[in-house]
Structure 1
Amino acid sequence: MTVHYSCLSVGPMDNNAYLLDDGAGHLGLIDAAAEPQRLLRWLAGRELDWVVTTHRHEDHIGALAQIVARTGARALCGAPDAGSIEGRTGVRCEPVWTGDHIGIGAAQLEVIGLVGHTPGSIALVAPGTPTTLFTGDSLFPGGLGKTAGPQQFASLFAGVTTTLFDRFPDDTVVAPGHGAATTLGAERPSLEQWRRRGW
């Protein structure tokens, strides 16, 4: 079953919030980053099943508490980031990690943990033709997300390579946490360059 999505750029860092729709009335939101009133208007009174936070950084959680309070939606995030998100937002997220699935109607989104940008960063795999990967700040057009040092970069590079590039075909869409979408095919030729430069 294909899951359709739309994107809204919010906040001073132009964060991408993604609204997923299974076509049968079930909605999910990825990254309630900022501007809760705009996000609520975007919902247009429709019921929201859940909000997934891709990682714990401040620019991705600014509207989380208000969206959850106003909609009653479930909140989910990568298990290693859950404590930090709760501490700063008051929202207790259901922890998810690699191998877990998040339902949206009859469809299932697969969770992939990507340690490096933060300890609990996650990507979501949405079914469809082509497949779409919601990568948060772990993968962008032109490179990986910022890491704190060589160890974190090595972890993120290995995770992105083995769980995304080695697994999914070139037409797979990458929907990142900021900026325009890309495809794995467009980015694949640059993997070795990214590895050599270390960012």
Structure 2
Amino acid sequence: MSYTGKVTVGGTPDVHELADLIITKVAVGPMSNNAYVLRCRHTDEQVLVDAANDAETLIEVIGDAGLAAVVTTHGHGDHWQALAAVVEATGARTLAGADDAEAIGAPVDTALVGGDEVAVGRSRLEVIHLVGHTPGSIALLYDDPEGMPHLFTGDSLFPGGVGKTWSHDDFASLIDDVESKIFDRLPDETWFYPGHGDDSTLGAERPHLAEWRARGW
């Protein structure tokens, strides 16, 4: 597999080609956020996960195929700074977790809850609600019928730990949700794509769950 998931701000996007879906990962500044353009091979419909910043770069990656929707993984400003400009340029619909919708700096057309589905042409992404980093954080699961599951985790799960929390209760909620809704459910080969930095697999991170819980972050 030539895809590595290692991207830098101002660098070349990385492309993960699956049987039915093409995933293009790009990093945008100034906080080195990841954004992901998902494209259905059958219909060419595209969905963007997190219009984080640098609308010009995102629109270039989107290209001539247009954009059906933008899904915002959570309400923190570094994940939606380019949302209004991308929507204005493409006419895309906006989707976000219901409990974060009011925190996002553009109107949200569809408020998502756990178990909802987001269409990318013929492919479907399942919404997983993860409470702790923010009240309405979501992850998006693409269970590839031809291969391993793929999971877009926003800032709820990274290589090396769960996302930042601001209280013991928030951490307990997030680690519980990540363990029960992700690690207890999905196999080790699940590839996940976080909101910042490199990708990883659940198998690489699973041995450290008890360590994360014990350290409290």
CA contact (8 A) 2:129 2:138 kept: yes
Q: C-alpha displacement at 1:127, in angstroms?
A: 2.5
Query: Amino acid of the residue matched to residue 125 of structure 2?
Result: L
Match of 1:124 in 2: 140
Give the SS at the match of 1:44: helix
Gaps of 5+ in 2: 1-18
Deviations 1:70-125 (A, max 9, x none): 1011100000000111xxx2323410010100111111100000000000000000
Query: Amino acid of the residue matched to residue 133 of structure 2?
Result: H
Match of 2:107 in 1: 91
Where relative contact order (Cα < 8 A, 6+ residues apart) is larger, the structure is: 1
Q: TM-score, normalising length from structure 1? A: 0.96
What is the alpha-carbon distance in structure 1 between the residues aligned to residue 86 and residue 192 of structure 2? Answer: 25
Deviations 1:7-37 (A, max 9, x none): 0000111100001011121111000000001
Give the SS at the match of 2:27: strand
Q: TM-score, normalising length from structure 2? A: 0.88
What is the alpha-carbon distance in structure 1 between the residues aligned to residue 81 and residue 137 of structure 2? Answer: 17
CA contact (8 A) 2:48 2:67 kept: yes
Query: Amino acid of the residue matched to residue 150 of structure 2?
Result: T
Decide which of 174, 186, 193 is 1:175's aligned counterpart: 193
Deviations 1:110-147 (A, max 9, x none): 00000000000000001321111000000000000000
- Root-mean-square deviation (CA, aligned residues, Å) is 1.0
Match of 1:69 in 2: 88
Aligned length: 196
What is the alpha-carbon distance in structure 1 between the residues aligned to residue 142 and residue 106 of structure 2? Answer: 28
Once the two structures are aligned, what percentage of the paired residues are identical?
Answer: 49
Q: C-alpha displacement at 1:3, in angstroms?
A: 2.4
Match of 1:56 in 2: 75
Say whether 1:185 aligns with 2:185. no
Deviations 1:23-61 (A, max 9, x none): 121111000000001111111222111100000101101
What is the alpha-carbon distance in structure 1 between the residues aligned to residue 182 and residue 126 of structure 2? Answer: 12
